[in-house]
């Protein structure tokens, strides 16, 4: 499945997590990096909200884009087998089911800092 949306999130950050995971911890280190992770939450710093919207694609379909820069290749804990893309106040923008209690996450962006286009590939 592929979900595409255009957002200008408050604080210019998106969170990727299993929102049912009571042990989820928002990463606090590396907040200036394009992507930061605590293992249970992945933070994606995107284009400043005052500069416009960021195009975000969330997919579980195989993808290896040649026009985007790899920003992250890791995993996120998914005890309820679901990954949600959220704003900084945990408003869910999109969600996909995953097949295990840990999902591989690959993130690509149009630039290495505060991208205006982001691709999130779950597997």
Could you write out the three-class secondary structure of the chain? CEEEEEECCHHHEEEEECCCCCCCCCCCCCCCCCEEECCCEEEEECCCHHHCCEEEEEECCCCCCCCCEEEEEEEEECCCCEEEEECCCCCEEEEEECCCCEEEEEEEECCCCCCCEEEEEEC
How far is Cα 88 from Cα 7, in angstroms, rounded to an integer?
Answer: 12
65-111 tens-digit pLDDT: 999 999 999 999 999 999 999 999 999 999 999 999 999 999 999 99
8-57 tens-digit pLDDT: 999 999 999 999 999 999 987 666 788 999 999 999 999 999 999 999 99
pLDDT, position 114: 93
The domain covering 2-122 belongs, at the CATH homologous superfamily level, to Competence, DNA-entry nuclease inhibitor, ComJ (2.60.34.30)
Burial class (CB in 10 A: 0-12, 13-18, 19+), 79: middle
Global model pTM greater than 0.85:
yes
pLDDT, position 31: 63
């Amino acid at each position: 499945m592929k979900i595409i949306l255009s957002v200008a999130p408050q604080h210019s950050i998106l969170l990727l997590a299993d929102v049912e995971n009571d042990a989820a911890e928002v990463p606090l280190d590396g907040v200036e990096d394009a992507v930061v992770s605590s293992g249970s939450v992945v933070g994606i710093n995107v284009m400043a909200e005052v500069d416009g919207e960021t195009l975000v694609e969330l997919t579980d379909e195989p993808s290896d884009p040649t026009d985007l820069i790899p920003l992250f290749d890791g995993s996120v804990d998914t005890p309820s087998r679901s990954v949600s893309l959220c704003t900084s106040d945990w408003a869910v923008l999109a969600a996909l089911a995953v097949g295990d209690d840990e999902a591989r996450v690959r993130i690509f962006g149009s630039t290495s800092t505060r991208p205006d286009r982001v691709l999130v590939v779950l597997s």
